[in-house]
Chain A
Amino acid sequence: MSEMKAVVNNICKEFGNDRTRLMDIVRGVQEKLGYVPPEAFELIAEKAHTHRVEVESVVSFYAFLSDKKRGKMVIRLCDDIIDRFQGGEDVAKALSKELGIGFGETTEDGKVTLEKTACIGMSDQAPAMMVNDVMVTNLTVEKIPEIIAKLRETEDPQSLVTECGDSNNAHELVRAMVNNNIREGGPVILSNHRRGGGLRKALTQTPEEVIEDVKGAGLRGRGGAGFLTGFKWELTRKAAGTEKFVLCNADEGEPGTFKDRVLLTERPDLMLEGMTVAAYAIGAETGIIYLRAEYAYLRAFLEDVLNRRREDNLLGINILGNEGFNFDVRIQMGAGAYVCGEETSLIKSCEGTRGDPTDRTPFPVVAGYMVSPTAVNNVESYCCAARIMDMGAGWFSSIGTARSAGTKVLSVCGDCDRPGIYEVPFGTKLRDLLQRVGAEDVAAVQVGGPSGQMVGPAQFDQEISFEELATGGAIMIFSNQRDILEVVEAFMEFFVDESCGYCVPCRVGNVLLKSRIARVRNGEGSPDDLAYLHRLGESVKRMSRCGLGQTSPNPVLSTLKNFRPVYNALVRENTTGRLKSFHIMKAVEQASQIADRRSEVFHA
């Protein structure tokens, strides 16, 4: 007890007893104690001048936080559909067998807890898992006994990394077995470029001119939504308020997306340069990188980059001798919540509360972080902005299509020979991409992850752009061997898990969509069920509060549109009016056992 008290006191003190740093405080406590004991809630609340319920709601909201004692090492196996198709389910069984426990349980010696988690951003080297913060990729059933034996022996997850991945993955502060898998670079981001050129040029211009350049380049948000970045900066600059903020969304939670992982590993300076340009343009002094918990293995490396930039006067006071231009950046760690990729949730999380999205208006550009004007952009957007400053708006807008300027960094995974990172100009045809990644016999491609759309061969001649096939980066490929509706059901399961639960359409609607898809998959559906799925999907889309619910029905809606024959083959016209999905004998089975007699009505 007294140890816990000391830990809590120290950590609260480290973060200035500031309730807006609650995320860091509870993360810190968990790091020290292995969990956040309920007895600590009151103490933390007292120290950080908040309420017990605030602390408890944070701990209960985030998947990576726990108020129950767990093993010294927590294994989180990625349960994404890509991992499942690459043998993840067998790996799950092997882990369970080797440890002698089920998922959600801890070994008796208190050493290992076994869990499943949503996509951890390793779909190009699936199946993968995390052991505490250490990534373990390319798992096979055969590797599991050795892995578990080693963990038991060393009790150090890092001991599993015998060989580091390529490039910066081997950096002494990273030392991960992760591979970048950069297959094709493009002119904007994954090519050689002058370091710091963009920032230096930006500082010779006025902030207004910088914004004009970004607007003129036609840069649109790379997280997927495609809002005009320059326009966002202009709104933030013009919004009333003395303090403004630049936030970088590195909460890459969309299953099948892992391009920010690679950009954070290989282009952290370019990203920070872009953030600094943004700070200059909108007049901000503080920046935050919201880093998803899964990428904690990159944290020390990124902190080091920040320190180096501070030493080089690229961050800090009077940046590059520019009197009065001050800007610094801190890293905010997430704790395993997909919804925090939504900008208002991300802001709430940075403020140290549950990641519930908030209503807009007001938009974050007017009242965001700390109710101040805030520009939230994706990692890749900042990289693009820095390059626009260096190379000019005209150069950037000459790449890509009329309404989608520049290139897009894609993360390709699934059934293909060469999964990995491809930077392609907007306007690239999906068919070309499939050829380059070595995908044959393709039945379906999920463009933009679960919240995007599932397209079939009839759409393969469409181009990757905001006009046709928009994506935040994810391209998931499914061959003819795969059951499309299994994918849809897995995606709906994901949304059910990740819904914050605030609004009814999303909290309830996704559960109903998932169970109706299951009914159809079981061969118990009728054409009425398809009409129902369509109607309900549209309602959830229209009525939900934030981007999660507004896009979560997409797997259902896009497959209903593009893969109608798959559904039609599974449903039968219902002639009796009795639903096949209701099984009366199963429904009375328990009561029949309790009363020790058979059904008088239905037992023939």
Chain B
Amino acid sequence: MGKPRVATTSLAGCFGCHMSFLDIDERILDLIELVDFDRSPIDDIKHISQRCAIGLVEGGCCNEENVHVLYEFRENCDILISFGDCATMGGIPTLRNNIPLKECIDEAYRDGVTVYNPKNIVPQDPEIPLLLDKVYPCHEVVKIDYFLPGCPPSADCLWAALTALLTDKPVELPYELLKYD
């Protein structure tokens, strides 16, 4: 039996959670003993190639592409984990949720004081995904199995959760790993 596969992605996040993930440092050598990586920004594989045991999702959904990716993860991962505050709660991107979408776009591309846009156009190239009406945390789009809060969750927290899951042991997250002040 091959090693379990892990896929990761960053949706409407800042990649900070992935950076924190890399902060497991040399333990990444232990990790690749335990798992194979599938789709992930770390190895630049663009689509999930086969069934994965675990999917790690950073960031919430702010556009249709995020939803598309999240659907791919949900379809192909046995366990889906939201990690970081954007994935679990929407985070900073949700600051726009109280402002109508049109106002946001007008401010960014038309009316902002530093904007130069003589044609007065807004992004409409088919290559650019359409924004959603508001930013959604992942669990409002698909079923999420576990949540790891933190901005970002610390490397130790991610390590503890992943190794517990992979070795089939109950996860122990002491207070220090979930305390952020």
Q: Which residues of A contact B (CB under 8 A)?
A: 526, 528, 574, 576-579, 581-582, 584, 586-592, 594-597, 599-602
Query: For the complex, is B130 an interface residue (Cβ under 8 Å from A)?
Result: yes
**B140 an interface residue at 8 Å Cβ cutoff?**
yes
Residues of B within 8 A of A594 (CB): 101-102, 105, 122
Q: Are A577 and B142 in contact (CB under 8 A)?
A: yes
Closest to B101 in A: A590
Question: Does B143 interact with chain A (Cβ within 8 Å)?
Answer: yes
Known: A595-B123, A596-B124. A587 touches B143 (CB 8 A): no
Q: How distant is the Cα of A599 from the Cα of B129 in the complex, in angstroms? A: 8
A-B contact pairs, 20 of them (CB 8 A): A576-B74, A577-B142, A577-B143, A578-B71, A578-B141, A578-B142, A578-B143, A582-B136, A582-B141, A586-B133, A587-B64, A587-B132, A587-B136, A588-B132, A591-B132, A592-B130, A594-B101, A597-B126, A599-B130, A601-B129
Chain A residues, CB < 8 A from B134:
587
Contacts of A588 in B (CB 8 A): 64, 130-133
- In the complex the two chains form, is A591's CB within 8 Å of B143's CB? no
Whether the pair A574, B132 counts as a contact (CB closer than 8 A) is no
A602 x B64 contact (CB < 8 A): yes
Query: Does any Cβ of A come within 8 Å of B23's Cβ?
Result: no
Pick the contact of A590: B63, B68, B122, B133 (CB < 8 A).
B133
Q: Which of A528, A581, A584 contacts B64 (CB 8 A)?
A: A584
Residue in B closest to A596 when the chains form the complex, CB atoms: B124
Told that A588-B132, A591-B63 touch, could you supply 12 new A-B pairs with CB distance under 8 A? A574-B143, A576-B75, A582-B140, A590-B102, A590-B133, A592-B130, A594-B102, A594-B122, A595-B122, A597-B124, A599-B130, A602-B64
Q: Which residue of B lies closest to A588 (CB)?
A: B130
Nearest 5 A-B pairs (CB), nearest first?
A591-B130, A595-B124, A577-B74, A587-B132, A591-B131
From 109 to 156 in chain B, residues with beta carbon under 8 angstroms from any chain A beta carbon are 122-124, 126, 129-134, 136, 140-143
Interchain CB contact under 8 A, B64 and A599: yes
Known contacts A591-B101, A594-B102, A594-B122; A579/B133 CB under 8 A: no
CA distance A465 to B123 in the complex (A): 66
CB distance from B153 to the nearest CB of A (A): 20
Most buried by B among A526, A600, A602: A600
- Please give the distance in Å from A212's CB to the nearest CB on chain B: 48
Q: Which B68-95 residues have C-beta < 8 A from chain A?
A: 68, 71, 74-75, 80
Residues on the A chain within 8 Å of B75, using CB: 576-577
User: Roughly how many angstroms separate A574 CA and B144 CA in the complex, as a whole number?
Assistant: 12
Partner of A600, one of B100, B126, B131: B126
B123's closest neighbor in chain A, by CB?
A595
A410, B75: Cα distance in complex, Å: 55
User: Which residues of A lie under 8 Å from residue B141 when comparing CB positions?
Assistant: 578-579, 582
Cβ-based interface call for B67 (8 A): yes
Q: Contact: B67 with A584, CB < 8 Å?
A: yes
Residue numbers in B under 8 Å from A586 (CB-CB): 133
- Tell me the smallest distance from the CB of A539 to a CB of chain B, in Å: 14
Nearest CB of chain A from residue B61's CB, rounded to whole Å = 8
Would you call B140 and A579 a contact (CB within 8 A)?
Answer: yes
A574 to chain B minimum Cβ distance, whole angstroms, is 6
**B130: chain A residues within 8 A (beta carbon):** 588, 591-592, 595, 599
Residue pair A579, B64 in contact (C-beta under 8 Å): no
What are the residues of chain A within 8 A of B105 when measuring CB–CB?
A: 594
Rounded to whole Å, the gap between the CB of B100 and the closest CB of chain A is 8
Partner among A526, A587, A595, A601 whose Cβ is within 8 Å of the Cβ of B133: A587
Asked if A528 contacts B143 (CB within 8 A), the reply is: yes
Q: Determine the chain A residues whose CB is within 8 A of the CB of B136 once the complex forms.
A: 582, 587
